Structure 1
Amino acid sequence: MPSSSQAMESEQPPRWLEEVLQVHFQHLQLLQQQNQRIADLVSMLVEREKASTSAADVTLPAPRVDPYGDLVRDLPTFNYEGDEDETFNAWYTRYGPVIDDRGKALSDDRKRNLIVEKLDKATYKTYSEHVLPLKPQEIDLATTIDNLRKLFGPKRTLIRRRYEFLQSKCPPLNGAYVPYREYGNMIKRKFEDASMKDVDSDSLKCLVFLSGLTDPSHSETRLRLLNQLNRLKESDPAPLLDDFINECETFVTLRTDNRAIESKEVNAAYQRKTAKQDKKHPYSPNKGFRYRRQPRDHSLHSPSRNARSASPAKKHYRGQRDQELLRASSFFALCYRAYHRATSV
């Protein structure tokens, strides 16, 4: 039987196993030390974060914003075509609120420069020449907007736009097209373009009176009334319907008097011409109590016979004579009109 010492030696682990266990134990210790260091670092970072948040707020620099450059990049260029949808008023009505909203930090001078920069080449050339001897950069924002609205507004006059508003008609209705919404939108647009909200009762009566003068016999009278309305300024009082009526009647009376004066002047000129011809060809008693044959006055014949018998030189002379008679009659009519006005006053 083996002895007790040999049995104890057989129960002890081998040498190499002890070495492995020892190395493994050292590794565990190193891991524990590393974990402890990581925990210390984490706690240190947490404490620093708490200290930074509890301290005074540190304002970070905000990202740089350039509203001027953003608006220059985003806003479309204004091109003037003269149509209702291409006027400066239409452009500024759409993009003016954008400039005011996104350009709150901009001064009025920079807003003015922004608007001038958004003009196309031809439009800027026209505007810069219009404001001479000043430069566009020397004019304030409000004046710049007002000048651009007047210079690049609709080519039609305000009277014409109001007249077209009163003459608005609805397109015909068919099975596939219902025009009422489009017609209503057109009425709204024309109402704003014609500034109908500023029309009082007297001006509306005058517009209706003017729109009714459609017959060709009223063309001259209509032109005078349109010219009178177009010359009115915003500060002038509104025209009255009675003023229109008096203007039309006075014009017709003056035109009738002018035609009568022209007729009398032509007759007087013809009589003077006949008297001169009688002096050139007097009565001759030396030929048996016979009159010398007088040259025939072709002006008494029909125009076609005159045209056949007259030479080009005579035609030219007659044309000059008629022009002189017309100028003389016009001068006499002006003198008579001035005398009539002076005596009436």
Structure 2
Amino acid sequence: MDAKQLQQVLEAVLKQQAQTTSTANNATLASALSGRITTFNYDPENGSTFESWFKRFGTLINDDGKDLPDASKVRLLVGKLGEEEYAKYSNSVAPDTPDIITFNDTVKNLKLLFADTRSLFVRRFECLKIKQQPNQDIDSLIGQINAACENANMALTKEDLKCLIFIIALRDDAHDIRQKCLQILEDARIKKKSINLKELAEECRAYQLVKESALSLNNPRADTNAIRAKPQHLKDKGGKQNQKFVRHFAKAEPKLTQTSQPRGKPTHACASCGRTDHWRNDCRFKDVTCNKCKKKGHIAKVCRSTYTANSISIVQKPVKSFFTINNQGEWWKVNVNINGSSHRMNVDTGAQATLITTQLWNKLGKPTLFSADIETMNCNGQSFATEGKFDCMVSYNNSTPIELTAYVSQAVKHDLMGIPWIKELEVIPKEIMKPCHLQSISANLPITDKNSLINSLQTNFSDVFGKELGHVKKFKAHLYLKHGATPTFCKARPVPYGALPAVNAELDRLVEIGAIKPINFSHWAAPVLAVKKKNGKTRICIDFSTGLNNALELNRHPLPRPEDIYMALNGAKFFSRLDLRDAYLQMELDEESKKLCAINTHRGLFQCQRLPFGVKSAPSIFQHLIDQLISGISGVFGYLDDIVIASKTSKDHTKTLKLLLKRIQDYGLKLQLEKCDFLQEKLLFLGHVVSPEGIKPDPGRSEAIRNMPAPHDKSTLRSFLGALTYYGRFIKKMREIRSPLDELLKKEIEWKWTETHQKAFERAKEIMLSDLLLTHYDPKLPIIVAADASKDGIGATISHVFPDKTEKVIEHASCTLTAAQRNYSQIEKEALALIFAVQKFHRMLYGRKFTLQTDHKPLV
């Protein structure tokens, strides 16, 4: 070895020693810094954000750790994140990993991810609400104010300050107005626009009027103050006004008295909107069209087409022909419960409607009346007037209350129970009613025979129920490739000999109906596999996960939430379900997309001409089509290839069915008649049975649950818990039931099936096999939200209170406590349960009053 080689060896050794020393020094420095930095736990409610944490420790990392390489600083920073925070961060940067991101980018990402969730104006609002606590000294208060002002960026303009003072000055019960104001200010800040107090007040007034109008239109029966009061233009001057008028959300007409007004101010209510703070010429509603009378110049709230007579409000409806027979002689009387109170009525088997006196109507609290859709006559053929009709909850002999219709008339002297009530309440047993053929009495009312309806639909829409493949006329499906995507070609998979005849037959069928066509060459190709369906037929499934799906941009048209559909079915008594034949295949691909959807089979290449199952964007593309198909048709809901029609009457149902089938015909779609259900009283939809009473799980799953063996490893336990999750909304305190089973799934827990686990398993099966029923959400009924906490989980229930004071559950919810939350005191757990309940049921609670229940007395 010469001198030059020796020199090179020495330099290499020295360099390696320096690197080793540097690495050791870096590790020592990083370890020392880590010991001086506390773990970051995200808690925005208490001001613990990443920005505040980094203000404290960022200087330490940047100054004392300035000699650390960038990767070491990233490891140090990420290593100080709590478990939940690290999981959330790593998910947010996926598919990248935290270690390949630079330190500066890591800090930037963490500041965005773990920022203060409150808007700037909410922080300012809370800053101005600071008050000295009983045991707080001056220095502590000043420190709190400095920190809050810094966090709220309190460099306020004069108008900003006035807006905040306005929000603080709002009454305590004006929560929604306050929330709307904060939203307006935050939106303006994001758009970098200035807003003054006058503009904010205008926005609030507009919001107020819109909400009042919406309440008036959407919930007329709940608006009892507006019903009992005469319209303002019919009141006597100086008459008493409703003393319960609320300034922000008035339920009665605005108060008008002959008090003196300042010069130049209006002396009467605006005829366009009912307010008294402007002249009609300046009213923003002077050119709108009324939703009640369809005339221009006013809103529904002040519409004069709704008149009052004897304090009864009538809403006009179409008129049918109807006879009421008033028998003479001895009456048969029964006691019935109407809207929670007992009343005695005369049973009249000759009356086709239930008629009550105005005296009973007054006792019931004068419920809202709608115009009577009948003409009434006595047994002598003489007509008499009715004041209107209303719906009420009625029960007989302690039966479950049901909703029935009663008519009010000043001409009757007795409360008469007619045939509809007699039949529904079973005052006369059904066995006795049947031979009487009482339906002939109601010959003028629409009676729809299911079989004749189906025959009529088949005749009038024969092409809709045809056997051939449908072809959407409106548009073609397009698949979008990601930029730079390269084709993937997969070879054909072998087909089992026993399945060859069925696969060949299915390929021939698809070619015959035009769903696929043979080709000689393609850059793209996906393999296929054969799956046997329940009816014994074979379906060819295309495995696009082999390449095409990864190369496609996802179509993001949203699928409807099943919960929203179930909620919209409230009040319906008749249901139908339409099933589309070979649903996706009815939509043609455009030419560009056809080239992407080639399949490789044992018979060579085929090109898909129609939208195939298995393509990543197919569900969203097809849902977009269904949403367009049913748009504008009331009572129709679509979830992919299942379309549901729900109506309150058979007449409306038939009308909607025909309208929808005409739309389907225009689109070129085809239905599978044997899978359609018409005029059902209950319906299986999206795995649940829907009926007028509510929703419950599919009873078809009972046998599978009953025969389900106990899990023998973590994989089979996960499968069972997945099935149990399906029942989550139906089961109270779900987390308590499954808690022992969840423990077994933890990584650090060794699998050991004990008697405790077997009991939890059997209890869960027993509950799943019980009669589980949830009522429909009804915006007109009062709501109770209850919450409870145990040592391992929290649960919540939202219920309706019906007129007979019974409570029925709308939905249950539960959540397992985290390791940190398990350390909370019991009062903190109970408070957390209340917060969880309100957040979970937010969509049903927002914008309305409700009762919040807790069994933890220290919270009250």
Aligned with 2:39 (options 63, 75, 78): 78
Distance 2:357 2:164 in 1: 49
1:237-270 superposed Cα distances (whole Å, 9 cap, x missing partner):
2333222111011122323444555655996985
Cα distance, 1:136 vs structure 2: 1.7
Aligned with 1:183 (options 137, 141, 144): 141
- In the alignment, structure 1 segments of 5+ residues that lack a partner are 1-60, 285-291, 328-345
Residues 78, 88 of structure 1: 8 Å contact kept: no
Residue 228 (str. 1) matches residue 209 (str. 2): no
Residues 33, 61 of structure 2: 8 Å contact kept: no
Structure 2 equivalent of residue 338 of structure 1? none
Residue 143 (str. 1) matches residue 100 (str. 2): no
Distance 2:190 2:70 in 1: 27
Distance 1:152 1:299 in 2: 65
Of the two, which has the highest radius of gyration?
1
Letter in 2 for 1:303: L
SS in 1 for 2:150: helix
Distance 1:178 1:91 in 2: 24
C-alpha change, 1:180 and 1:77, in structure 2 (3 Å) is closer
SS in 2 for 1:316: strand
1:125-164 superposed Cα distances (whole Å, 9 cap, x missing partner):
1110112232223333233212212322345443332111
Residues 81, 87 of structure 1: 8 Å contact kept: yes
Residues 67, 102 of structure 1: 8 Å contact kept: no
Distance 2:47 2:32 in 1: 22
Letter in 2 for 1:144: T
1:197-253 superposed Cα distances (whole Å, 9 cap, x missing partner):
3x433322222221211342x333222222333445545223332221110111223
Q: TM-score, normalised by structure 1?
A: 0.58
Report which of the two has the higher share of helix: 1
Aligned with 1:93 (options 42, 55, 65): 55
Structure 1 equivalent of residue 128 of structure 2? 166
SS in 2 for 1:280: coil
Residues 78, 86 of structure 2: 8 Å contact kept: yes
C-alpha change, 1:150 and 1:133, in structure 2 (3 Å) is same
Worse-superposed segment, 161-170 or 141-150? 141-150
The Cα RMSD (Å) is: 4.1
Aligned with 1:316 (options 403, 409, 434): 403
C-alpha change, 1:178 and 1:127, in structure 2 (3 Å) is closer
Structure 1 equivalent of residue 683 of structure 2? none
Alignment of 1:260-339 (within 5 A): 260-261=216-217, 270-272=315-317, 275-276=319-320, 279-281=321-323, 295-298=353-356, 301=361, 302-303=363-364, 315-317=402-404, 320=571
- In the alignment, structure 2 segments of 5+ residues that lack a partner are 1-17, 221-291, 294-299, 301-305, 307-312, 327-349, 367-391, 406-569, 573-646, 649-777, 780-860
Distance 1:150 1:128 in 2: 14
Letter in 1 for 2:39: F
Worse-superposed segment, 162-171 or 151-160? 151-160
Distance 1:135 1:299 in 2: 76
Worse-superposed segment, 312-321 or 148-157? 312-321
Residues 74, 102 of structure 2: 8 Å contact kept: yes
Cα distance, 1:89 vs structure 2: 1.9
Alignment of 1:14-53 (within 5 A): none
Q: Between Structure 1 and Structure 2, how many residues are aligned?
A: 250
Residue 134 (str. 1) matches residue 96 (str. 2): yes
SS in 2 for 1:105: coil
Letter in 2 for 1:179: D
C-alpha change, 1:201 and 1:69, in structure 2 (3 Å) is farther
Letter in 2 for 1:149: K
Alignment of 1:244-259 (within 5 A): 244-259=200-215
Distance 2:172 2:150 in 1: 29
Distance 1:228 1:178 in 2: 35
1:258-295 superposed Cα distances (whole Å, 9 cap, x missing partner):
4555655996985426x33xx121799xxxxxxx9774
Residues 394, 403 of structure 2: 8 Å contact kept: no
Q: TM-score, normalised by structure 2?
A: 0.26
Identity %: 24
Q: Which has the higher contact order (CA 8 A, sep 6+)?
A: 1
C-alpha change, 1:109 and 1:191, in structure 2 (3 Å) is same
1:285-340 superposed Cα distances (whole Å, 9 cap, x missing partner):
xxxxxxx977443496243796567796883356938x97x99xxxxxxxxxxxxx
Worse-superposed segment, 160-169 or 202-211? 202-211
Structure 2 equivalent of residue 200 of structure 1? 157
Structure 1 equivalent of residue 170 of structure 2? 213
C-alpha change, 1:317 and 1:138, in structure 2 (3 Å) is farther
1:66-116 superposed Cα distances (whole Å, 9 cap, x missing partner):
245323333334231405464322221111111121222234443233211
Structure 1 equivalent of residue 64 of structure 2? 102
Distance 1:116 1:90 in 2: 16
Residues 77, 120 of structure 1: 8 Å contact kept: no
